[in-house]
Structures are given as structure tokens and as C-alpha cells.
Amino acid sequence: MRNLKVIMAYRGTNYHGFQRQENAITVQEVVEEKVSSVLNEKIIINGCSRTDTGVHANNYCFSVKTNSLIPTKNFVRGVNGRLPDDISILSCEEADDDFHARFSCKAKEYIYRMHCSESKNPFATDLAYHYRRPVDIERIRTAAQEFVGTHDFKAFCADSSGKLSTIRTIYNFDVVSNGVSVEMLVKGDGFLYNMIRIMVGTLLMVNEKRIEPSDIKRIIESKDRLQAGNTAQPHGLYLNRIFY
């Protein structure tokens, strides 16, 4: 049996996240159906992450085991020919038997994109968060550095009740501005449920001077979700890269 490592990109607007659900259309459901039809066998794909409803992916990895002898190039062509326009297979390669898209992952990188202007961007209504307030980039950058390191991020988790540990390591948190476009780029060894969106919401509190950059440390130490900011809208979030 072969083990394939597949990279895809998708626009999450029309899907209730990646993971298969009973009463909602998900990326996993659609991809499994098309991959099964190309491989001519019923398969289950193992995804690298559970992205939320409306969240996008620039590079999303899944692994799949198959008895099919299809060449990897033909896999890409065949599956892309059956997928809807908002999902695309970027690459496929042979992987070791023990490779697993989720459990072999060493780190993940996400981007949160904002369109910062009084006027909306009609070409990015579901691809970037429309933020109408002035942005103090240096203030946000200073606050973002408080997240870097190994911390208990319980205050930045929407539901920590089922987690054995809420300790995570953030390797870097960059904020880049290009005119009305602002991107927050964060890389870590893993993320809790809604963690990045809550961090973004908290940084927006800093921008609006409702809290100071130095308050981030206090909020982390509180382990209290009510101390952190609102959960930012999902359509600004992209899974950008997976590291193995």
C-alpha cells in the first residue's frame, strides 16, 4: 500500500471547515469524494489541521493511503479535473509509511489578512477582514512580540475543556503593512481552538488603546478567556505553511 503526501489550497468561504460533519459541507467531504473516484476505491484522507468555517488555506497537507498505482502527476491532474474551482491540488508525492499529515507536523504558519480602510474592497469581501479604524502598526508589532515564546494560552482558547494541555510555543509573530493591507503572520508548534483569531482580536484592542501592549503578558498569565479580545472574523485567516 502506498502513502501519498498531498498539498492543496482552498477558499473556505463555502465550507464549514475542513473536518467532515454530519449536516454540513466540508472540505474533507468534497476532497474525499473526488479522490475516491480517481483512485477507484473508498478512501479517508488525514488532514494536517481542523480549519474553522470560512477559513482558507494557501498550503494544506493531507496524507492518504491507497492501493492504486496511479502516478503522482496523474493524481494531481485527475483530482483537479473533478474538484470545484475553490479547491486545488498543488502537489502529490510518495511518503514513508509512517508519515501522517497531522502527527508528523512540526510547526504551522498562519496569516491573518485585513483590509484597513473606511471603504470596503469589493474584490476581497470574503478574503480579508474589513477593519475601518486607523492602524498603529508599531503599537501592534510591539504587542505581538508578547506572544512569542512558550506560554499557557488558555486565555486565547474558545474551548479548553477537552485539552490535556493549553501550553503552546509561538516561534514568531510578524505584522506587515502595505498601504491599506495589513497581514499578521504567526508561526508556532500548534494552536488551540480559535487561538489565532482571539490573538488578533486582542491586538485590535491594543490598536484601539483599550489595553496597552504590556497587558498581553497579564492576559496570558490570567488564563482567563474573558480577559482577551473578541474572536476575529474567520474569513481573514489562512493556513499558510506546514513544516515537517
Q: Is 52 designated active site?
A: yes
Cell of 106: 512540526
Beta carbons within 8 Å of 105's beta carbon, 6+ residues apart: 48, 49, 61, 190, 242, 243, 244
Q: Which residues have a Cβ under 8 Å from the Cβ of 90 and sit 6 or more positions away?
A: 7, 8, 9, 59, 76
User: Cα dist. 45→216, 243, 244 in Å?
Assistant: 38, 18, 18
> Is the CA virtual torsion 133, 124, 126, 160 positive or negative?
negative
β-strands 87-94, 2-10: how paired? antiparallel
- Integer Cα distance of 82 and 155 in angstroms: 42
Residues carrying an active site annotation: 52
